[in-house]
Structure 1
Amino acid sequence: MDLFSLSLGALLKGVGELTDDDFAQPSGCEGWLVRDLVCHLVIDAQDVLITLVTPTADPVTHNAVTYWKVSSEPSDDPLAALTVRLAAAYGEPWMLKHHVDDVGQAALRAAQLADPTLKVGTQDMVLCTAGYLDAYVWEWTLHHLDLVTHLPHVAGPPASSLARCREVLEQIAGPFPASWSNEDVLLVGTGRRAPTEAERAELGDLAIPFVLG
């Protein structure tokens, strides 16, 4: 739960430091500008708020690892086009920046107040609150990498968040070469960049999944 706050807090700080010109730059999410990605973060924060107030008595069915669906193909999310339209509707970057900080800070407060043992329901899954927030460390960290892909002046995600996400990915896909940085593991392991020839040789038969929400 502490990593949830750390990773989301760092991401919100990064968004807060963006200039107006930064919003028009491409992000690490294929087909999305930075403004589209930030709009998606608004939706993510809203989902967290909704889930934390959706308790259930049903048994736990998923954890921070099994929460994520794995496919060999990139996601064809019908909401992706809607996100682009919503982002454009904000008009001025400061409006989008204000909204993501507003709901993001609310998600931080809600997580800090939450009972970690409470069971919550989302997307036909049941997780304990601690497990759900742990799952979202992946979301915040990967999208933080997406945010800074073409913005080298913006700080990236915390080292501890990157390390936790590597643990999750390796539980799904298997171990990556120990010499690889956590960031390279996540970028290659989620298809955000193709491995070099040397990296491909090191990977051997390791399957490279796309980890989807």
Structure 2
Amino acid sequence: MLRTDRRDGEVSGGRRMDGVRRGVGHDQVLDAFRLECGALSDAVAGLSDAEWNLPTRCIPWTVRDLLGHVCVVIDWLPAMLDAPAPREAEISAVEYYRPDDRFSPRTNGKRIALAQDRAARPATGAAFAEDFAATWRRVDGLCRAQPDGRTVRTRHGDAMLLSEFLLTRVVEVAVHGLDLADALGRDAWLTPAAGDAVTELLLGPEHAAAAGKLEWSRPHFLRKATGREPLNETEAAQIEQLGIRWLALG
């Protein structure tokens, strides 16, 4: 699961249009989703049985369980697209990560069980890698058939722009990709498109470029900004100066 790393309980709104922030563009987030999912597919293809069963920092999940979670959170989209579209978007991707019941211990328990159930379905690791590839490709195709400005309602009841909800899926694939790379002892495969999209979500479009002043790689910044690696006092001050939005992550 994504780790809780919220500091102040506040949500920073960023640029807004009709009351809802619009940051990363529709086409940009679609490309980030496709590229990052493709990189993850390549990374898990050919994993050994031992690698599938390695523990991750997302306790109690193994590598296989964590990929199950990524499958689950991507596979919410087909039903959302089949449902009636809300008349207008009400929240942004930043506001989606607000600290409420969606990140409670009860909901987190369901999240863990759903991931483990999904991971247990394919008979082999190879079949599971193919299942993941088929899942994200189906969702990618469905999303690309939607017009810019399409709205969806999440399972939590939030009315969002599809592009904003899909950005939260980019967060899931990118950040859990870092978790998987670390569990497997590999270099991060984070794509520039996804790294930039998540950084813009965390810092806002007006401050994202300033992240370069830290002279950190994108994977290093995202590990620090999402609680994967601890911040020392100096690093915490540097990130705060960038105007980071601390997200509630389950």
TM-score range, shorter chain: 0.7 to 0.9
Note the alpha carbon deviations across 1:8-54, whole angstroms, 9 max, x for none.
22222222243322111122423211011011122122112222222
Partner amino acid, structure 1, of 2:38: G
Q: Kindly report which structure 2 residues correspond to 1:174-185, keeping only aligned pairs within 5 A, or say none.
A: 178-179=213-214, 180-185=216-221
3-state SS, counterpart of residue 127 of structure 1: strand
Q: Hey, what does 1:107 align to over in structure 2?
A: 139
Partner amino acid, structure 2, of 1:67: Y
Q: Hey, what does 2:201 align to over in structure 1?
A: 168
Q: Hey, what does 2:166 align to over in structure 1?
A: 133
Q: Give 5+ residue unaligned stretches, structure 1.
A: none
Please, which of 190, 193, 198 is the counterpart of residue 226 of structure 2? 190
Partner amino acid, structure 1, of 2:249: L
Kindly state the Cα deviation for residue 117 of structure 1 after the two structures are TM-superposed: 1.9
Per the normalisation by structure 2, the TM-score is 0.70
Does the 8 A contact of 1:189 with 1:208 survive in 2? no
3-state SS, counterpart of residue 152 of structure 2: strand
Kindly state the Cα deviation for residue 101 of structure 1 after the two structures are TM-superposed: 2.1
Q: Hey, what does 1:79 align to over in structure 2?
A: 110
Pair 1:208–1:104, CA change in 2 (3 A): closer
Kindly state the Cα deviation for residue 75 of structure 1 after the two structures are TM-superposed: 5.9
Is 1:212 the counterpart of 2:244 in the alignment? no
Deviates more, 1:10-19 or 1:133-142: 10-19
Q: Hey, what does 1:150 align to over in structure 2?
A: 183
Partner amino acid, structure 1, of 2:163: A
Q: Hey, what does 2:3 align to over in structure 1?
A: none
Partner amino acid, structure 2, of 1:37: L
3-state SS, counterpart of residue 160 of structure 2: strand
Note the alpha carbon deviations across 1:119-167, whole angstroms, 9 max, x for none.
1111211112222223322121111111111224465110221122112
Please, which of 68, 78, 92 is the counterpart of residue 63 of structure 1? 92
3-state SS, counterpart of residue 78 of structure 1: helix
Note the alpha carbon deviations across 1:37-88, whole angstroms, 9 max, x for none.
01112212211222222232432101232222258xx863012441335534
| Partner Cα separation in structure 2 for residue 198 and residue 168 of structure 1 | 23
3-state SS, counterpart of residue 65 of structure 1: helix
| Partner Cα separation in structure 2 for residue 147 and residue 195 of structure 1 | 21
Note the alpha carbon deviations across 1:85-111, whole angstroms, 9 max, x for none.
553464532332232222122112212
Percent identity between the aligned chains? Answer: 23
Q: Give 5+ residue unaligned stretches, structure 2.
A: 1-29
Pair 1:204–1:18, CA change in 2 (3 A): same
Per the normalisation by structure 1, the TM-score is 0.81
The size of the alignment, in residue pairs, is 209
3-state SS, counterpart of residue 230 of structure 2: coil
